[in-house]
Structure 1
Amino acid sequence: MEILPVLAIIIIALAFDYTNGFHDAANAIATSVSTRALTPRAALIMAAVANFAGALLGTDVAKTVGEGIVSAPTGGEGLLLVFSALFGAIVWNLITWYFGLPSSSSHALIGGLVGAALSSDAIVKWAGVFDKVVVPMIFSPLVGFGLGYLLMLAILWAFRRAHPAKMSRGFRYAQTVSAGAMALGHGLQDAQKTMGVIVLALVVGGYQTTFEVPLWVVTIVALALAAGTYAGGWRIMRTLGRRIIHLDPPRGFAAETAAAAVLYTTAYVFHVPISTTHTITSSVMGVGATKRLSAVRWGVATNIVTAWVLTIPAAALVAAALESVLHPLFF
């Protein structure tokens, strides 16, 4: 097969990776910026560097995405499937970014793959979708909420006699570390989804026979994600950092630490793709609930959850529509 279609898919995948970066930049740094632990510019630089480093730390999730969601035909039809999936994910990323909703780029990509596969002759691996996507999608926010809640309770108990001003200042410094850990986890999780799609394109295009991720793929994906992160995601940052609940440094530290723990565990232990957006948002809600349940702005939280629920089917519909329109033109 000619190399140009495969190169085009790689470029589009990197465009998706870039939108993932600016769409999800808020995941790592919104809490640190809202508590004034870091300035916005310093936070973005740190997040971009950590995202790049995190993308270099593993490829197990990439293999899951590349071979565990759909079985694509080889040749042009398989490349059309990948193109349609990426297009559906990018469209949904831009829509939710415009409205400031922290939806999941990961689930948008998976929804795009499923939608494009259903519209073509490809096979959706429903067992893989359920085990590797649906189950983690349900449990990771619950674990993030619970872990954030429990960690914040532990902090409140451990520092119950501490001077509030000194405690706040100390946790501002600690947030630099927790925000870095969160950004590293974002790079570890989210970059691998794009790696998986590029490897899928290489396999269906006949340029690779296994789903091992080449070093050059890891490197270009890491660079694109870091560049997108540095471009920033100010609309979503405002939603995560201020509109759900007003965060102070101890709560920001607890939310970031809880979310990072979930990201590392799912990547290294279970090798499943989860949403960094879902995880940090639910962790923020969990630490906020330690104040009182009414401290969480549940109306904003409801809008976010609605975007979560719609992400996979919406991206799937866009991808399926594009595939159904383009397929008769080329095959």
Structure 2
Amino acid sequence: MQPSLLVVVVVVTALVFDFTNGFHDTANSMATSIATGALRPRVAVAISAVLNLVGAFLSVEVAKTISSGLVDDTKVGPAIVFGGLIGAIVWNLLTWFVGLPSSSSHALFGGLIGATWVSAGSDSVHFGKIVDKVLLPAAASPVIAGLVAAAVTYLVYRFLVRRRPASKGFRIGQIVSASLVSLAHGTNDAQKTMGVITLTLVSGGLLPSGAAPPVWVIISAACALALGTYLGGWRITHTLGKGLTDIEGPQGFAAQTSSALVILVSSRLGFPLSTTHVCSGGIIGSGVGRREAPVRWRMAGRMVIAWLFTLPAAAIVGAIAGKTASLGSAGTIVVGVVGIAVGLGIYLLSRRRPITAHSFHVPEPSAPDAEPRQLAA
């Protein structure tokens, strides 16, 4: 059976979302390593991209949750999935533009839920599974990561750190722990796009209900995420690396190790966790664990507000886009054109105040107590 043009469009749109997910969430794994000078910006995103690619092949449990757990795949058509993806992409671009590390995962869930609810009815949405698999982990994960990071940071400074906190050992530890977060991010986040594409193929009659992602879906989603990661979401990286607290090597190590453990465990259990929530909680926890580090609670509050708005905001856009796309080919074209126009407009606005790899001022890796300098990309 040949795929319809709409199915092809939805698959391409899903990969575009995966691409935005990559540059939106680069900061999750590498912001602290860049902030402390453990890694140069371009080297950091290159490592992250490769490990995101590898991580995408390690599990498909999260993909199964997305493709058959949140909505009734027998009542969802490609047009509905298309609308949901547009809602997620628009929210990703908006939060990237203002530098807020909101959840790409929850944007995807919100867009998909809104589009399905309005177009196929509320009985097509599995609200019980959304609470168990999405909302409860969303509330618990940053708290758990924060508590673990605070405890690890306190113990590290209490028993290991002496006169030179940003030692070579902790710099190596940061690189290893940041790599683990990148691997975990690929394991968790690439699967969400795999799940959406699989849902599209099921709804288009190309796969049976409950099917696992085909190999080509896994490969394409992994590559799209890795490419987006390599481009680097410098706006959000700046927020996580500098905006929440002043980070030293031991803190970065504690935050990243705690985040990686939480994400990897959730991927194994099939929870489509927000890596943004986890990594942000880990960074804040590392600031709490080091008494001299000022935690900027106002910025943290802005982030939490963005988190609270992510699901409903993406759901509203997804509902409008999904309903419009369900009206037929003309509706799908309108949604596509509007989505492209919004994305292009946000990109052009971002060029007025660009933030690139050259925008970061971090300490010399070999001289942790030195004055900050600007790193080359």
TM over 0.5, shorter chain: yes
How far apart are 1:311 and its partner, in Å? 0.4
Q: Which amino acid aligns with 2:45?
A: L
Q: 1:44, 1:232 within 8 Å by CA — same for their partners in 2?
A: yes
Matched residue, 1:128: 129
Rounded Cα–Cα distance in structure 2 between residues aligned with 1:191 and 1:220: 10
Rounded Cα–Cα distance in structure 2 between residues aligned with 1:27 and 1:111: 21
Q: 2:157, 2:290 within 8 Å by CA — same for their partners in 1?
A: no
Match of 1:71, SS state, is coil
Rounded Cα–Cα distance in structure 2 between residues aligned with 1:323 and 1:287: 41
Matched residue, 2:321: 322
Aligned residues: 326
Matched residue, 1:46: 47
Rounded Cα–Cα distance in structure 2 between residues aligned with 1:2 and 1:302: 45
How far apart are 1:242 and its partner, in Å? 0.4
Matched residue, 2:250: 250
Rounded Cα–Cα distance in structure 2 between residues aligned with 1:246 and 1:157: 18
Matched residue, 1:78: 77
Moved more, 145-154 or 237-246: 145-154
Percentage of identical aligned residues? 44
Change over 3 Å in CA distance of 1:3–1:262 after alignment to 2: same
Q: Which amino acid aligns with 1:86?
A: L
Residues 92-135 of structure 1, C-alpha deviations (whole Å, 9 max, x = no match): 00000000000000000000111001111250001110110011
Matched residue, 1:212: 212
Q: 2:110, 2:312 within 8 Å by CA — same for their partners in 1?
A: yes
Rounded Cα–Cα distance in structure 1 between residues aligned with 2:246 and 2:158: 20
Q: 1:73, 1:121 within 8 Å by CA — same for their partners in 2?
A: no
Match of 2:290, SS state, is coil
Matched residue, 1:19: 20
Rounded Cα–Cα distance in structure 1 between residues aligned with 2:114 and 2:211: 22
Rounded Cα–Cα distance in structure 2 between residues aligned with 1:293 and 1:112: 41
Q: Judging by fraction of residues, say which structure has more helix.
A: 1
Change over 3 Å in CA distance of 1:57–1:300 after alignment to 2: same
Rounded Cα–Cα distance in structure 1 between residues aligned with 2:319 and 2:193: 19
- Normalising by the residue count of structure 2, what TM-score does the alignment of the two structures yield? 0.84
Matched residue, 2:10: 9
Residues 181-202 of structure 1, C-alpha deviations (whole Å, 9 max, x = no match): 0100110110000000000000
Matched residue, 1:281: 280
Rounded Cα–Cα distance in structure 1 between residues aligned with 2:257 and 2:237: 18
RMSD: 1.6
Rounded Cα–Cα distance in structure 2 between residues aligned with 1:47 and 1:157: 30
Rounded Cα–Cα distance in structure 2 between residues aligned with 1:43 and 1:328: 45
Rounded Cα–Cα distance in structure 1 between residues aligned with 2:43 and 2:13: 29
Rounded Cα–Cα distance in structure 1 between residues aligned with 2:306 and 2:254: 25
How far apart are 1:324 and its partner, in Å? 2.4
Residues 232-284 of structure 1, C-alpha deviations (whole Å, 9 max, x = no match): 1000000000010010000000000000000011111x211010000000100
Rounded Cα–Cα distance in structure 2 between residues aligned with 1:48 and 1:328: 38
How far apart are 1:72 and its partner, in Å? 3.7
Q: 1:189, 1:274 within 8 Å by CA — same for their partners in 2?
A: yes
Q: 1:112, 1:315 within 8 Å by CA — same for their partners in 2?
A: yes
How far apart are 1:294 and its partner, in Å? 7.6
Give 5+ residue unaligned stretches, structure 1. Answer: none
Matched residue, 1:34: 35
Q: 2:152, 2:289 within 8 Å by CA — same for their partners in 1?
A: no
Matched residue, 1:148: 149
How far apart are 1:220 and its partner, in Å? 0.6
Rounded Cα–Cα distance in structure 1 between residues aligned with 2:74 and 2:115: 12
Rounded Cα–Cα distance in structure 2 between residues aligned with 1:114 and 1:262: 25
